[in-house]
Amino acid sequence: IILRIFFSRCNVPESVVMAAILRKYIVVGGGVAGGYAAREFVKLGLQPGELTIFSKEAAAPYERPALSKAYLFPDAPARLPGFHVCVGSGGEKQLPDWYAEKGIELKLETEIVKADVENKTLTTNKGDIYEYGTLILATGSTFLNLADFKTPGADAKGIYYLRDIGDADKIVEAIKASKGDEAVVVGGGYIGLELAACLTMNKIKVNMVFPEPCLMPRLFTPELASFYERYYEGKGVNIIKGTTVTAFEKDDNGHVSKVLLKNGSSVNSTFVVVGVGARPLLAPLKGLIEEEKGGFKVDASFKTSNPNVYAVGDIATFPMKMYGDSRRVEHVDHARKSAMQAVQAIKAAEKGEVVDEYDYLPFFYSRSFNLSWQFYGDNVGETVLWGRNGAAASESKFGAYWVKDNKVMGAFLEGGSPDENKLIAKVAREQPTVNSTDELVSGGLGFASKI
Ligand code: FAD
Ligand code: NDP
């Protein structure tokens, strides 16, 4: 400490003062992308001691999507170690021992709080300094908090958000403690859709509040949304559309007691779950790396503006080869694939080789109650619905195609089998030309099977 003070007064950088721990590769972020990056390094050849992964979380990398689904089920809920990566894509379950066996240093509950890209060093919250040869940033996102929007009472107890296992455990406890009170789910996006279902499955009466005229408006058309809205209402969910929360009232203990809405109504509730979007976590590299569209700008191998630094998963704004633009994607399939691509590119570069450009086909999905949908491609242009829409979910097989300039750009399917989902993925990848949308309506999945 005395040395640090002395050198800081002499303007000598800390990284020069402290002996840094040298690693060939460092991954910051032990989430989905961090876990898949580790697997790819091992697959392509990793010597013990070459790789360190830092994670703020206490758990080794796990498949985050489980948290808003099976983790909250009333019966036989998913628990670690059951869903460590890479089980979500049918791979080996990487338990903490796996990292040790492979000679990977997994530093859990350790946050990188400072970075120096000139000296290629990172400082942990414990004061350790690491020097990297190549750095992969995989810090993911955090939830938007209603306190950020200055919603009065947003600091009340009983208001929950969901990003990691710690958050999920708090929701599990709140479910157990709930005694027939009504819950409010704020947000009609992914978290809203999946949490409303989980709470209902736990026999909690749910009120869903969101500002838009329909559920999941960024992907669903009003016709698609109406199926899911009717289905949810059939399960007892009260959907309150087109309005937002203006304030939360608290009881004497600072616990939420009432949710006030902009439309003038209110809901008495002691249990609120909020899912109003996510924000990519760019600290502590923010300002040191070029940004684009809210993320770190990367090339087709996920290299940032700094040649020693890669960024993957939620935080990367990457060239979307299929559509000739650049995008940031906050979904698990891309987190896995971008991590693998970056590691392949790093290893190839060491041999003076290059990898093929990342050519990503967007893939989003959700599961709730007995429903399960998948979407591939781009939801641009005219939407063409096909199939039955409105029957009981067990009988429902319906979908949609998105058509722009006579090309099928996107495809959606509810209740598809793995083989059927592959068919719609192929349509979105190949973008077949159609002369009339009638052939999509009458063909439905049959249209996809001919591609
Ligand atoms: P993350 O998985 O979020 O991992 C980032 C990690 O970095 C975290 O552990 C974080 O604590 C750590 N970290 C951050 N900053 C630092 C730092 N400075 N130092 C050290 N560690 C740090 N997508 C789908 O496609 N389908 C789904 O069904 C689905 N369900 C989801 C359910 C939930 C509840 C959530 C929150 C997301 C879901 N997603 C889903 C989105 C998907 O999980 C993310 O897109 C994916 O996890 C992104 O991977 P990532 O590695 O970029 O970030
Ligand atoms: P989303 O962006 O999916 O949805 C947030 C929704 O909340 C949007 O419809 C948004 O509307 C709405 N909203 C914004 N502000 C308010 C407000 N003040 N009151 C009520 N509603 C509001 O984010 P989520 O929170 O659902 O998900 C967080 C992250 O987790 C995302 O990265 C998501 O991809 C990921 N996730 C993915 C899942 C999946 O892929 N199956 C499952 C769970 C999480 P608007 O569009 O107008 O801003």
**Nearest ligand atom owner, CA of 333:** 1
The model scores a pTM over 0.90: yes
- Work out the pLDDT band at 6, boundaries 50, 70, 90: low
Task: Tell me: pLDDT of 250 over 80.
Answer: yes
Q: Pick the atom of ligand 1 nearest to 54's CA.
A: 20
Burial of 104 (0-12, 13-18, 19+ CB in 10 A): buried
- Work out the pLDDT band at 19, boundaries 50, 70, 90: confident
Beta carbon of 337 within 6 Å of any ligand 1 atom: no
Beta carbon of 202 within 6 Å of any ligand 1 atom: no
Beta carbon of 192 within 6 Å of any ligand 2 atom: yes
Distance 365 CA to ligand 1 centre (A): 16
Beta carbon of 67 within 6 Å of any ligand 1 atom: yes
Residue 430 confidence (pLDDT): 98
Burial of 24 (0-12, 13-18, 19+ CB in 10 A): middle
* Rounded mean pLDDT, 20-49: 98
pLDDT in tens, 125-180: 999 999 999 999 999 999 999 999 999 999 999 999 999 999 999 999 999 999 88
- 369, 197 in Cβ contact below 8 A? yes
> What's the token pair of residue 451?
């591609």
* Rounded mean pLDDT, 310-325: 98
Beta carbon of 167 within 6 Å of any ligand 2 atom: no
- 320, 327 in Cβ contact below 8 A? yes
Beta carbon of 187 within 6 Å of any ligand 2 atom: yes
Residue 135 confidence (pLDDT): 98
Closest CA relative to residue 299, chosen from 334, 335, 341: 341
Among the ranges given (117-131, 331-345, 359-373, 376-390), the one the predictor scored with the smallest mean pLDDT: 376-390
Residue 181 confidence (pLDDT): 84
Distance 35 CA to ligand 1 centre (A): 11
Beta carbon of 32 within 6 Å of any ligand 1 atom: yes
Task: Tell me: pLDDT of 1 over 70.
Answer: no
ipTM of the prediction greater than 0.90, yes or no: yes
Burial of 390 (0-12, 13-18, 19+ CB in 10 A): exposed
* Rounded mean pLDDT, 369-394: 84
Beta carbon of 191 within 6 Å of any ligand 2 atom: yes
Residue 391 confidence (pLDDT): 47
Task: Tell me: pLDDT of 274 over 80.
Answer: yes
Q: Pick the atom of ligand 2 nearest to 274's CA.
A: 25
Probe residue for ligand 2, chosen from 159, 161, 164, 190 as the CB with the greatest number of ligand atoms within 8 Å: 190
